[in-house]
Amino acid sequence: MSEKSSPILLFDSGVGGLTVYDALREVLPGAPVIYAADLAGLPYGEKTEAQVAARVAGLLGRMSERFRPRLVCIACNTASTIALGNVREVLEVPIVGTVPAIKPAAAMTQTGAIGLIGTQATIRQRYVDELEHQFAADKTLLRIAAPEFVGAAEAKLRGEPVDMAVIERVADALRAMPGGDRIDTLVLACTHFPLLADELRLVFGPQVQLVDGAAGIARRIAHLLDGQPMEKTGPNRFIVTGPIDAASGLDAALSSREFSAAAAF
């Protein structure tokens, strides 16, 4: 592999990181990309912190040896908030993580009430507490876990219908919290969740702004790689852990994003 064709490695527990890829393609359209979906480990949000940290660091160590990426992006909020430090100790290339977009949400809200939807593992992290303290101390930040959104997003990308009752249950639970009726900004603290943006807008209404970190992550990657020569020698690669059957139904989503057919890692 030449230096020009050295890829950016995007890693996620599933297909949610494709929302980061979509944003990255806007700023670095010619960059070679390998997308790694740890479908064998999905969902991360229901694992312990120790399990996630060990799994992510181990997988990224092996993937970096095989693919020699120029940069690794952990396109997963759960994995980033838990394992980013471990991965930076293991790898010698630049690492970009994904964190809940609390800072931009705090700047956008007019009512001072912000909803944050994430996985169970993400919303309980001290890192999220620190972001709230730093950027939204004078706001009302209401957190809720929506693990079922991950499966809904994965299914939607495969062309399956979304069960709107799942979206409505989460919306009703958020609104029932003290101050929940004032929410005007919603942080999507999982890269899967922007795939459900249309459904979320339908349920929450046009007065609620949706905020995610994909564009900011893409800009950060572009900044770190500024000036580096890049050359794509073929389609981007999409690899999965576990049985390749787990990627069934993704053909249309992958081909529209210039990926070759899914392959096993």
Catalytic residues: 76, 190
CA 21, CA 204: separation in Å to the nearest integer? 26
Q: Are strands 8-12 and 33-37 parallel, antiparallel or unpaired?
A: parallel
Q: Do residues 194 and 214 touch, judged by C-beta distance below 8 A?
A: yes
Phi, psi of 252 (to 5 degrees): -65, -45
Closest CA to 205 of 228, 175, 178, 177: 175
Closest CA to 22 of 224, 215, 248, 250: 215
Closest CA to 60 of 254, 232, 241: 241
Helix (H/G/I), strand (E/B), else coil: 86: helix
CA 52, CA 154: separation in Å to the nearest integer? 20
3-state SS record for 112-144: CEEEEEECHHHHCCHHHHHHHHHHCCCCEEEEE
Per-residue CA distances from 182 to 107, 117, 141, 174, 186 (Å): 16, 16, 11, 10, 11
CA 59, CA 38: separation in Å to the nearest integer? 9
Structure tokens at 38: 């740890």
